[in-house]
Chain A
Amino acid sequence: MHHDFRMPVGEAKIRALKIGDTVTLNGALFGIRDATQIHMFDRGRTTRFDMNGHAVIHTAPNVRKTPRSNEHPAGYAPVCIGTTTSARMERFTRPLMRQYGVRLIIGKGGLGPDSAAAFGELGGAYLAIIGGTAALETTWVEAIEDVDLDDLNPESLWKFQVRGFGPLLVAMDAHGGSLYDKVTATAEARRATVLAAMGVKA
């Protein structure tokens, strides 16, 4: 099933998502990364942004500094915006949801068991994007609307305006479903066969 969201979204819409569904986002999208979250959750920094009901994407974009204008209100033009590996940021899912009300996390490669539990308890989901397809992804970003914690550039907290951002695949839902668990289980079931085929004695 496909879902077309204008951000922010309420909890009921998030809980309706099932793994295998697809989602397209419109409106605000927040870019966040390792350093951003280390500073926010380990070093006590806060943001002026209201991320309640919003989606964050694991990214640090390529940008060009430019004079502020209607087209570039934050003084940055997008150059290439892509997605980084989410697993490094696993421990930040829960505080992002609890302290800031974030509902959706977009990334590549999936998140772990604590994120899955947080999605169930607090009402969230993980949307997978195809890693390494940033040129395409950049065409879905209309503008960089605002930026906070910019001393961490490129790992600032970015506020993008997006249109038709997707389709993204619901890879972890609020019901404990995870496509990554399925793939891992399949791979583990094949491990013994593969090693035997390579002549490895058990």
Chain B
Amino acid sequence: MSPDKLRIDPQAVEEAAKLLYIRALKVLPDDVKTGFRRLDAAESDGTAKAILATMIENIAVAERTDNLLCQDTGIPIFNVEIGREVDLDGVALKAAIRRGVARATREYPLRSSVVHPITRVNEHTSCGRGVPVINIDFVDRPGALRLEMIPKGSGSENGSFLRMLIPADGLDGVKKFVIDCVMQAGGKVCPPTIVGVGLGGDSTAFAVHVETAATHITMNPVAVNIQCHSARRATAIFTAKGVEIGF
């Protein structure tokens, strides 16, 4: 190991994971707040404008009362980006994130929204088999570790759809599927939403994002995932200078 490598202390990751979970539930990122102002300015319907105003007020009330934006503490998701010249124990990192999530849940306390899929038993730690979800990627950034936390609420997560279309359905089949998914989700997913489409109207949605990956010659898969208006996230970046908390 070269002496100038960034060493990651699992204890610091545990503290960051705990802090990020609670912070993400309370403070919305600036880009989402800007999105609300943009929709409000463009909205023409009176009832819709009143609803947007209530959502904007809720963001302010959460910050003023230091409370959660929404009661849904979600499925905790961590996106970990490991840069170059970083020295860490991956198994210890995953265990530290899990401990941080469990401590946030017990110590704050947060509602644990995670249960076993068959027994429906809630361990009251927001953890379970495969949860927190930890996605790990390696990036070309020297001496830095980035930890992004997303509490994914399930009013919108239940508006997830997967269809294994066939090549003969073409791109037209994909487009029809996406439109029909959004219509089926309707008002159940806390609009205005962010629609995520994976291949391989007025204030209906902030944005539509499309991600692609290579597929098999027999396949034409499409997945739709919806994010509610409370698009929460928080980030910690570990560098030699310390830990920087942001969005």
Chains A and B bind each other: yes
Residues of A within 8 A of B (CB): 35, 59-65, 79-88, 108-110, 130-136, 138-139, 153-154, 169, 180, 183-184, 187-188, 190-191, 194-195, 198-201
Please report the C-alpha to C-alpha distance between residue A65 and residue B111 in the assembled complex, in whole angstroms. 12
* Chain A residues with CB below 8 A from B186, complex form: 109-110, 180, 183-184, 187
* Interface size classification for chain B: 35 or more
Residues of B within 8 A of A (CB): 47, 51, 54-55, 57-59, 61-62, 65, 67-73, 108-113, 120, 122, 153, 155, 158, 172, 175-176, 179-180, 183, 186-190, 201, 228-230
Please report the C-alpha to C-alpha distance between residue A61 and residue B175 in the assembled complex, in whole angstroms. 38
Grouping DSSP codes into helix (H, G, I), strand (E, B) and loop, the A interface class, with mixed when no group exceeds half, is mixed
Please report the C-alpha to C-alpha distance between residue A61 and residue B68 in the assembled complex, in whole angstroms. 11
The answer to whether A62 touches B110, judged by C-beta atoms less than 8 angstroms apart, is yes
Within 8 Å by CB of B183, from A84, A153, A187, lies A187
The answer to whether A108 touches B54, judged by C-beta atoms less than 8 angstroms apart, is no
Using a Cβ cutoff of 8 Å, how many contacts connect chains A and B? 133
The answer to whether A88 touches B158, judged by C-beta atoms less than 8 angstroms apart, is yes
**Interchain residue pairs A-B with the least CB separation, the first 6:** A82-B71, A109-B188, A135-B62, A131-B190, A133-B58, A80-B68
Within 8 Å by CB of B69, from A88, A135, A139, A198, lies A135
Please report the C-alpha to C-alpha distance between residue A130 and residue B155 in the assembled complex, in whole angstroms. 12
* Chain B residues with CB below 8 A from A169, complex form: 47
* Chain B residues with CB below 8 A from A200, complex form: 172, 175-176
A159 to chain B, nearest CB (A): 17
Within 8 Å by CB of B155, from A64, A84, A136, lies A84
